[in-house]
Structure 1
């Protein structure tokens, strides 16, 4: 790093001397006008401006066509539909304004390029123009912000009394996740990291009866078309619960409980069999197959075939194994979910088994 900084300093010093020599040369030879742009230079620069904006538009179109598979598929949650709609409106506005303003900027640079016989027109102000380019952005931005605020409020308005929401705790620690399901009472027991000891890895308060029927798992199962309220805790540092296919993300902060809620609308199987995901998985497996040939030729083990699953990820760089901090999410029917949950042991049963041992 020291060598790199030294090279940078020397390079900057050299550039400074070069610029100073140019200034000195200009000051000593003011009569020489060889560096003043002429009509030929202006024509060239004007054409280059037109060429650049055409290249910019072609590059944009190419990127959309070539890399559209890198986008996320349709949202797997109810609120994600509104989220995607807001994002689409914002992106369309940005691209329309960018297309018009960049086109005009480069076209005017060509049309009004310097010519010896031309004289610039100067006027101090134009109230009409100023009104137009002020009021239009104000109206557009105000509409977008108001629409965004209503969408944000709808997404973040968590009402535990509405319907029959499922309450789940997401517990983050370096470098893994745990899910805690409230029992039949649908109330999570109290917990504190100070209570972590032995099998009590999440720090549940053993004196709180509400926690006795809680179930702790290392895989997150969710019933489709049922609202889920997530209560999030961190054991150590700042993490971020990121579920991109559900358009959900919330920081998990030590010492406090953060919340987020959504309703899954597509099961894991439905997303896996969607046209978008079938094509994407086929592309991934084609790449993995080619890499496997090289690995096998080098005497290493071939890569396994990829199968799509939802995942809960950490979206904060929380340490050396941050990349591996993930938990599988399974969205299934209410019947399959109930059958899976029934097979999980409660915290009270774990305490009883420990006492018996």
Structure 2
């Protein structure tokens, strides 16, 4: 009912404005004025209207930002996530500075250089080397700073991981994710696509490679310890998938035929985030953000950030690849 009333009120407002414009036009015609040609009064009213609209527009924009600031990015829950937020905020500062200066000048010029009774015009010049130099060099410097900052952060996400980082393979296919833990040796066993069997060997693991015997394969739920670096090795079987973890500010493509790497340190456990968000049902999620087919919308995996004790307790309960093969 509220939605209907909102739409109805909006329609009535539009009809009112339309009728008001018709009345204004009829009144002008009765006075013998040509409504198709702007006169001095029109120019003054338009210029004044721009000046009055400028603060109203800025106040409206800032109000929306204040109201919806909590609806933007969720709380960052990783080391690189916090730095990614700093990079984002740095970009916003630059954007807002440029936006408010240019928009203020736009509204001011609309009034300052309106056509007056003396028929004066603003000075027009087609070219000036000094201005061209300024608005080429200044944006170039700003963009260079942003790019270097971004590349530095990207290097932290995809560069060489810590020696004690836990190695986990994330294997994507239509339409699910599978995680493979590297076991006690922290080394993933070899795989070959020719060995893939959805019933017995979905990742195509080489059973002759002893380094893979202690690997642990899980589906549906991924567990990681807090405050310990996780090194993800990402692969895809069929098409390109996107490995997207919004709370950790991590995203990288899973591409068939190659391995892509990224790593981060989770900093907030699932239990703590549930307290912070006042949401007892909260879960971190791994999502696919590439349109990979008809079931793309359902391609996700729950991520549980445990305390170290909880993580190793959970890991000890999982069956290794060797024990699974022996059972079959």
Measured against the shorter chain, the TM-score band is 0.7 to 0.9
CA contact (8 A) 1:158 1:260 kept: no
2:154 to 147, 152, 155: 152
Residue in 2 that maps onto 1:299: none
Point out where structure 1 has 5 or more consecutive residues left out of the alignment: 1-32, 282-305
The residue aligned with 1:11 is none
Give the CA deviation at 1:133: 3.8
Note if contact 1:78-1:262 (Cα within 8 Å) is conserved in structure 2. yes
Deviation track 1:137-191 (CA, whole Å, cap 9, x = no partner) reads 33333333333332332332123xx330100000111111111001111111111
Question: Deviation of residue 125 (structure 1)?
Answer: 5.2
Q: Counterpart in 2 of 1:337? A: 311
Look up the match of 2:25.
none
1:1-357 matches, within 5 Å, as 35-120=36-121, 121-123=123-125, 129-159=131-161, 162-197=162-197, 198-218=199-219, 219-274=221-276, 277-278=277-278, 281=279, 307-354=281-328
CA–CA distance in 2 between the matches of 1:185 and 1:128? 63
- For 1:104 and 1:339, locate their aligned partners in 2 and report how far apart those are by CA, in whole Å: 62
Cα distance per residue 1:258-298 (max 9 Å; x no partner): 11111111111111111xx12xx4xxxxxxxxxxxxxxxxx
Q: Where does the alignment leave 5 or more consecutive residues of structure 2 unmatched? A: 1-33
Aligned length: 293
SS in 1 for 2:96: helix
In 2, Cα distance between equivalents of 1:213 and 1:123: 74
Q: Deviations over 1:204-258 (max 9, x none)?
A: 1122221111111111100111111101111211110100000000111112111
8 Å CA contact 2:47–2:112 kept in 1: the answer is yes
Contact 2:182 2:188 in 1 (8 A): yes
Offset of 1:73 from its aligned partner? 3.2
User: Normalization by structure 1: what TM-score?
Assistant: 0.76
Q: CA deviation at 1:193?
A: 2.9
| TM norm structure 2 | 0.83
CA RMSD of aligned residues (A): 2.1
Q: Residues 241 and 312 of structure 1 are in contact (CA less than 8 Å); yes or no, is this contact kept in structure 2?
A: yes
Q: CA distance change for structure 1 residues 124 and 193 in 2, over 3 Å: closer, same or farther?
A: closer
Return the alpha-carbon distance in structure 2 between the equivalents of residues 163 and 256 of structure 1: 22
Task: Give secondary structure in 2 for the equivalent of 1:67.
Answer: helix
Displacement over 6 Å in runs of 4+: none
